[in-house]
Amino acid sequence: MNELFKTSRVILYYNGAISALTLFLQHPDESVCAPSPLPALSSVLEEDEMTLNIAHTAPATIVSAISNAMALPANFLHADIGYREQVDTPGGVITVYLARFNALDSPRQLMAEKGCQFRTLTELRNRPPAEMELLRRAYALIMES
């Protein structure tokens, strides 16, 4: 696994320009975090708890690495620079980023070929608490922009 992925994850989403339909990508392991799920016992840190001394990776760097790992076309993902969350895990802090599919329509077929599915927020309501909190924060940011 890429060294970058030990301390980073990305949530991928599609947002319809006309309908404002927001869909999150669920991977074959059922997580919304790429390239791998968060460890058990993870919890999202509040803003005042975030670790300032952790070296942050530029969102475009991690999104590009995810795009390459998933064999996606160039410039198919766009990093959302307004979203950077930290998750406390038994192995240390993981930073979670957000990336949007750069497409007019959701690339359902392409992602289905990779074993992934697009889901609405309500369809994901049974995910672990840390993932649900990350999705809630992502959805709020998407709707505000």
- The model's pLDDT over 108-145, given as tens digits with 9 standing for 90+, comes to 999 999 999 999 999 999 999 999 999 999 999 999 88
Q: Contact at 8 Å (CB) between 121 and 24? A: yes
Average confidence (pLDDT) over 42-49: 89
CA-nearest of 21, 111, 4 to 58 is: 4
Check residue 3 and give its pLDDT: 78
Overall residue count recorded for the chain in this entry: 145
Domain ranges of the chain: 3-144
- The CATH class, in words, for 3-144 is alpha beta
- Name the DSSP class of 14: E
Average confidence (pLDDT) over 77-84: 94
pTM exceeds 0.85, yes or no? yes
